[in-house]
């Protein structure tokens, strides 16, 4: 998506080009997201302590720290969505039309950064319906639509600059879940449910004997949800008197639905942020229980971060070895087919990322770095585009020689393919 690339261009123009600058841009959006979460939680709860705890937990979250250091667009998308939420809550009482306009401007920017913005948008929709459904008028469609019309025009202009390249990039995602999410909603829901098995129990290709400890985080999400205040008296959802008084109440059901969407939104971002809001707003929890829950959460994040640092160290060594070997084998004027990250080790002008290994581009590079597909990717290709899967397997087996882990040297080209 284009907005992260545009932001990089402006950022490099001011601070210079480099990997450190790229990561600092992501870290900046990480900090903006923490501030936005603080403002959002403060507006929702009216409690500065709850907002401060939410911000603190998010600031130490190992998922956010990890994503804020790798230069991807995920954190920028998340932060723009959180800023949209905060903008709506900040302005809805003074001028609902402006609040809708500015909040959706942030959400349009988030969508131009990463498709996961749809998750954040659904959270905003729940917020608007719960708080202001009775105030909405047809005239509010105008401020709602303006940002998306402008964004759609900008997106179209960007795609038309190189339509073939645009199609190639988008079709290159067919091995992943993105295309399946669009064309098979039920499959997407089932795969999302399967995600939690992988998160809390691990899988054959992402094993972890400590994965079950993450169930503690799930327990804090549920505990925070059940312990939230729902009345002016400050009683939580588990209070029998509150349950009797509010059973069947439309407003109470809407509030519960909104909270559930908020928690789903956070957890669907593949992190531990779901427990942030839940735990922060659990006002009725005892002080000792709250402190213990926060301490366990922080300790888990520290332990996971330590494990990731060790894994990253080994990964860095492997990356440097493969980059050096690929540079040695790559003939002058030729391209390496590899993940775009290898451009830093081999050279930006020498790396082309083609996940289909030339099926659509007809290219036959001299060297390929291919770590293989995950089981999910294999299943998606088998269902969506079996020809690509068959071609990938055949070209690596018949036309390339494996010289190192993930590193392949060309022996011959498939019929109709052009050597590079």
**pLDDT tens per residue, range 349-358:** 899 999 889 8
pLDDT range class, residue 258, cuts 50, 70, 90: very low
- What are the CB-based long-range contacts (under 8 Å, 24+) for 328-335? 329/366, 329/367, 329/403, 329/407, 329/409, 330/366, 330/367, 331/366, 334/365, 334/366, 334/367, 334/420, 335/363, 335/365, 335/366, 335/420
User: What are the extents of the domains in the chain?
Assistant: 2-161+209-285, 322-419
**Rounded Cα gap, residues 388 and 395, in angstroms:** 10
Q: Is the pTM of this model over 0.75?
A: no
Nearest one of 34, 111, 20 to 65, comparing CA atoms? 34
Name which of 95-104, 192-201, 368-377 the model is least confident about: 192-201
The Cα-based distances of 372 to 39, 95, 225, 396, 398 in angstroms read 43, 53, 40, 10, 16
pLDDT of residue 205: 42
**What proportion of the chain, given as a percentage, has pLDDT over 90?**
37
Q: Render pLDDT for 223-250 as a digit per residue (tens, 0 to 9).
A: 666 655 444 444 444 444 444 444 444 4
pLDDT of residue 172: 63
Rounded to the nearest 5°, which phi and psi values hold at 393?
-65, -40
pLDDT of residue 407: 94
pLDDT of residue 34: 94
Name which of 170-179, 184-193, 196-205, 240-249 the model is least confident about: 240-249
**Rounded Cα gap, residues 413 and 179, in angstroms:** 29
């Amino acid at each position: 998506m284009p907005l992260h690339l545009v932001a990089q261009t402006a950022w490099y123009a001011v601070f210079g080009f480099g990997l450190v600058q790229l990561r600092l841009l992501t870290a900046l959006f990480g900090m903006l997201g923490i501030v936005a979460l603080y403002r959002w939680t403060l507006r929702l709860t009216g409690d500065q302590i709850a907002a401060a705890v939410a911000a603190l937990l998010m600031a130490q979250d190992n998922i956010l720290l990890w994503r804020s250091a790798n230069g991807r667009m995920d954190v920028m998308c998340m932060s723009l969505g959180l800023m949209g939420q905060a903008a709506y809550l900040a302005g809805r009482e003074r001028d609902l039309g402006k609040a809708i306009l500015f909040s959706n401007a942030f959400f349009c920017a988030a969508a131009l950064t990463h498709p996961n913005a749809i998750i954040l948008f659904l959270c905003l929709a729940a917020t608007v319906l719960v708080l202001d459904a009775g105030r909405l008028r047809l005239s509010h469609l105008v401020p709602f639509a303006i940002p998306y019309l402008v964004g759609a025009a900008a997106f179209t202009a960007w795609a038309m600059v190189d339509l073939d390249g645009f199609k190639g990039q988008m079709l290159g995602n067919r091995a992943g879940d993105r295309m399946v999410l669009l064309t098979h909603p039920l499959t997407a829901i089932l795969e999302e449910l399967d995600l939690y098995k992988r998160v809390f129990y691990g899988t054959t290709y992402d094993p972890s004997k400590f994965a079950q400890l993450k169930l503690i985080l799930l327990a804090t999400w549920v505990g925070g949800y059940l312990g939230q205040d729902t009345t002016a008296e400050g009683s939580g959802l588990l209070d029998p008197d509150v349950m009797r008084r509010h059973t069947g109440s439309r407003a109470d059901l809407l509030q519960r639905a909104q909270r559930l969407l908020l928690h789903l939104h956070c957890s669907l971002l593949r992190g531990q942020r779901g427990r942030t809001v839940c735990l922060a707003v659990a006002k009725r929890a005892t002080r000792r229980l709250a402190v213990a829950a926060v301490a366990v959460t922080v300790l888990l994040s520290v332990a996971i971060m330590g494990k990731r640092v060790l894994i990253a160290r080994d990964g860095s060594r492997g990356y440097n070895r493969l980059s050096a070997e690929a540079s040695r084998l790559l003939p002058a004027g030729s391209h390496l087919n590899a993940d775009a990250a290898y451009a830093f080790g081999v050279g930006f002008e020498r790396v082309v990322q083609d996940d289909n290994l030339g099926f659509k581009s007809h290219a036959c590079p001299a060297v390929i770095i291919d770590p293989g597909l995950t089981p999910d990717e294999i299943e998606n290709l088998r269902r969506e585009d079996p020809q690509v899967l068959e071609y990938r397997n055949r070209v690596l087996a018949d036309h390339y020689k494996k010289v190192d882990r993930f590193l392949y040297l060309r022996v011959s080209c498939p019929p109709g393919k052009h050597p590079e």
